[in-house]
Amino acid sequence: QVQLVESGGGVVQPGKSLRLSCAASGFTFSDYEMHWVRQAPGRGLDWVASISYDGSNKYFADSVKGRFTISRDESKNLVDLQMNSLRAEDSAVYYCVRGTAAGDYWGQGALVTVSS
């Protein structure tokens, strides 16, 4: 069965960096675009970044452009989100999502708290 498992969340000070990883299993990883979506406490869903099936195309929300990067490792079935220069407003649950169109499978989420 399809599984997406996020790791790497935690508490980090403003201005610091954090790297989230998503381990994918149960499907042919190289066939799918992958995405990160976040949700601040009590708020709605907010798309963060996407990476094409082969890693050649990467897209970012304006709010994270220049600070976040996305990558994938086909040999390990991993998709990573490198978050630099973190701000308080980046605090959220970050979901890893599979989808070449809509997001059909979501991970359980990783909580990131940016606080001094």
Partner 1 sequence: DIQLTQSPSILSASVGDRVTITCRASQIISDWLAWYQQKPGKAPKLLIYKTSSLESGVPSRFSGSGSGTEFTLTISSLQPDDFATYYCQQYNHYWTFGQGTRVEIK
Rule CB under 8 A: which residues touch partner 1?
A: 35, 37, 44-47, 50, 59, 61-62, 95, 99, 101-104, 106-109
Q: Provide, rounded to whole angstroms, the least separation between the CB of residue 35 and partner 1.
A: 7
* Choice between 14 and 58, CB closer to partner 1: 58
**What phi and psi values does residue 105 have, to the nearest 5 degrees?**
-135, 135
Q: Provide, rounded to whole angstroms, the least separation between the CB of residue 104 and partner 1.
A: 5
* Choice between 73 and 104, CB closer to partner 1: 104
* Choice between 110 and 114, CB closer to partner 1: 110
Q: Provide, rounded to whole angstroms, the least separation between the CB of residue 6 and partner 1.
A: 10
Angle, CA 98 vertex, CA 12 and CA 87 arms, to 5°? 20
Q: Provide, rounded to whole angstroms, the least separation between the CB of residue 102 and partner 1.
A: 4
* Choice between 25 and 108, CB closer to partner 1: 108
What is the rounded end-to-end Cα distance, in angstroms, of the chain? 40
| Alpha carbon distances (Å) from 2 to 5, 11, 29, 83 | 10, 29, 10, 26
